[in-house]
A and B are shown apart, each in its own frame.
Chain A
Amino acid sequence: MTQVKEKERKLTIARAMAEAIAQEMRTDEKVFVMGEDIGELGGVFGNTRGLYKEFGPVRVRDTPISETAFIGAAVGAASDGMKPVVELMFVDFFGVCFDAIYNMMAKNTYFSGGNVTVPMVLMTSTGGGYSDAGQHSQCVHATFAHLPGMKVVAPSNAYDAKGMMIAAIRDPNPVVFMFHKALQGMGWLGTEKDAIVHVPEADYEVPLGKAVVTRPGTDVTIVGITSGVHYGLKAARILEEQGVSAEVLDLRSLVPLDREAVIESVTKTGRLIVVDEDYHSYGMTGEIIATVVEAGVPLKAPPQRVAYPDIPIPFTPPMEQWALPSPEKIIAAFNKMKEV
């Protein structure tokens, strides 16, 4: 029996997200999209491209610049049987609308004893590196993941982006779907080529809350999410030349957090570096290290973190590029562990 290999079809994360939403909209009339510039423009970051043309202005709704209103409305629509996919254009804008997110979207299920569900997706762009300064470049992963009641996911490549978006839309709980601008594949923004991968045309789900080993290794575990995964992969290639076998673990989800996958990998390698473009203190990096320490995983060296310094993100390229995580910083962290 001959196996027909599917023709390779490389997509950007932006295309993969739009395809996922379109496929769900075709099969479930309850799904609709709402946000700023997501209609005819196709989303500032391309992730609703083509939807307006196919589904029209009723199901692909441009909103006023009123995040509190349209996210609050999404909560009301989701509680009334719809499945809204709403876009918060830059995650940094959560400051104008967080009440609708963390006091209603995330709490109504609990406060109703599970009698009211809020099946909505809040997709939002994260990350910097392109001199947009600190109101348009943050990740704030931990700010969302810290607050109970919402799933928080962030893919690092187009395959995961499609499968996780489909899973997010089908999930009966609110899901915050973060996508990193530098991985998105927009023409006007530099793009990480490793994020553009083969994406099957058929619909499929990538389960939320499951990490994946992106690159197996035996000497050190590099845990990351979105851009952190790609910094980790680049560092792993350099380390390989030095005879070090690094395992890269892509968390993919922050809530639920796949602690077992982290523990399993570090149990194998005995060394842990956590990479995050979010701020250093009180963040995901500390949470991952605590997970390993609390589980009593035997360690060959103290775990290290490579994260954004605790400063507002600066504009000027020398400062911003200096502050970002990088493969070099990961290698320096590994070398520090060797000294122990």
Chain B
Amino acid sequence: MIPSQEQEKWMYKHMLISRFFEEAIEKIYMEGKSPAFNMANGPIPGEMHLSNGQEPCAVGVCAHLNAEDVVTSTHRPHHVAIAKGVDLKGMAAEIFGKTTGLSGGRGGHMHIFDPAVNFSCSGIIGQSVGPAVGAALSRVMQQKSGIAVAYLGEGAANQGAFHEALNMAGVWKLPVIFIIEDNSWGISVSKRASTAIERNSDRASSYGMPGEFIPGNDPIAIFKTVGLAVDRARSGLGPTLIEIETSRLAGHFMGDGEAYRPAGEKEALMKVDPIPVMKERLAEVYSWTDEDDAQLVADAHGVVDEAIKFARDSEYPAPEEAMEKVFV
């Protein structure tokens, strides 16, 4: 399954939007946090997990999905949310804790819910998988179209929730795809130090489903492999586990000193930053010009700037509204 030029352009554009969004968040996050860094201060308080470098995992998968398909994501959700079509203004405002945020400021960056495009995430490692299995079950029982995709990190593959959910999805042959974003780090502990096998995709055989490993953080390769898994799911052939080798170009969270990274690792990863790589590919394969690129970059910046402005200009909720929405 090969992406069309339009699909490649869509993927590149959403990689750009995601990267520019994270860069904007990164900058604003530091406002009010110097000279002393205190996570509670500034227009964006709390933990912040940036997804720089992992954009291929988002676009290569979501290029196959529609609004009706369900995606559950992780504590590092922005790139996936953007590729899934989550309302960017609402997400930005949520990250700022504003009343116009997707959840009126109750959730923040780790709890993004946009039912209009069936996107949600959880801040707990490994807890994206159960709800995705349930959503897939729901579609089968309701005989409604749509599949479910659960994102998780490679660290989450060592959680019990992962194994329980994969087994159940395998037993029930549900239309669900598990996407492991293997950025090789669980905060500061390497995959090598925490995982008994080299490739989590091998674990699929325990659960009666195909397992695929995609090296190289390559959106095109991801698109091809995931396309087959999506076809399998849509035609009722059951779940697939896919591990994508990707790279975390930022720290685990903002403020992470990353002293645990081996010398030279980050520099090496930066050299294969998937965004310039994708740009080169487009130039080579589709003879994209610098003008084409400049236009797309400008468009992406425009989308991000508009979302950030919306978030900044929005009001904070009345504090006592905290008491609402516990029950409906």
Contacts and interface: CB of A to CB of B under 8 A. Distances in A.
B70 A76 contact: yes
B141 A59 contact: yes
Contact of A73 (B107, B168, B324, B327): B168
A69 B164 contact: yes
Given A72-B161, A73-B131, A148 B102 contact: no
A296 interface: no
A59 B70 CA distance: 21
A148 B131 contact: no
A113 B135 contact: no
Contact of B328 (A59, A64, A67, A114): A114
A111 B107 contact: yes
Nearest to A120: B134
Contacts, number: 151
Given A79-B120, A110-B326, A115-B113, A71 B127 contact: no
Q: How large is the interface on A (under 10, 10 to 19, 20 to 34, 35 or more residues)?
A: 35 or more
A214 interface: no
A116 B80 CA distance: 19
Interface in B90-146: 101-104, 106-107, 111, 113, 115, 118, 120, 122, 124, 127, 129-139, 141-142
B15 interface: no
Given A82-B138, A111-B106, A113-B103, A72 B327 contact: no
B130 A75 contact: yes
Interface string A163-196: 0000000001100000000000000000000000
A10 to B, nearest CB: 34
Contact of A173 (B136, B171, B328): B328
Interface in B66-108: 70, 72, 101-104, 106-107
Interface string B144-164: 000010000000000011001
Interface residues of B, number: 42
A63 B168 contact: yes
Contact of B165 (A32, A59, A73): A73
B134 A66 contact: no
Nearest to A78: B134
Given A74-B134, A79-B120, A112 B103 contact: yes
A68 B160 contact: yes
A99 B168 contact: no
Nearest to A103: B124
Nearest to B107: A111
B192 interface: no
Nearest to A114: B325
Contacts of A99: 124, 127, 161
A76 B168 contact: no
A295 interface: no
Given A103-B124, A111-B106, A117-B328, A76 B131 contact: yes
Contacts of A73: 130-131, 133-134, 137, 165, 168
Contacts of B136: 76
A104 to B, nearest CB: 6
A10 B165 CA distance: 41
A123 B74 CA distance: 28
Given A109-B327, A110-B325, A72 B113 contact: no
Given A112-B115, A173-B328, A66 B168 contact: yes
A144 interface: no
A99 B148 CA distance: 21
Contact of A111 (B103, B148, B164): B103
Nearest to B134: A76
B314 interface: no
Interface string B316-328: 0000000011111
Interface of A: 30, 32, 58-59, 63-64, 66-82, 84, 96, 99-100, 103-104, 107-117, 148-149, 151, 172-173
Interface of B: 70, 72, 101-104, 106-107, 111, 113, 115, 118, 120, 122, 124, 127, 129-139, 141-142, 148, 160-161, 164-165, 167-168, 171, 324-328
Given A76-B148, A110-B325, 5 more contacts: A59-B141, A79-B135, A82-B134, A104-B124, A104-B130
26 contacts: A68-B165, A69-B161, A69-B168, A70-B130, A70-B168, A76-B70, A76-B132, A76-B134, A76-B136, A77-B135, A77-B137, A77-B141, A79-B134, A80-B118, A82-B137, A99-B127, A100-B130, A103-B127, A104-B131, A108-B113, A109-B328, A112-B103, A115-B115, A117-B328, A173-B327, A173-B328
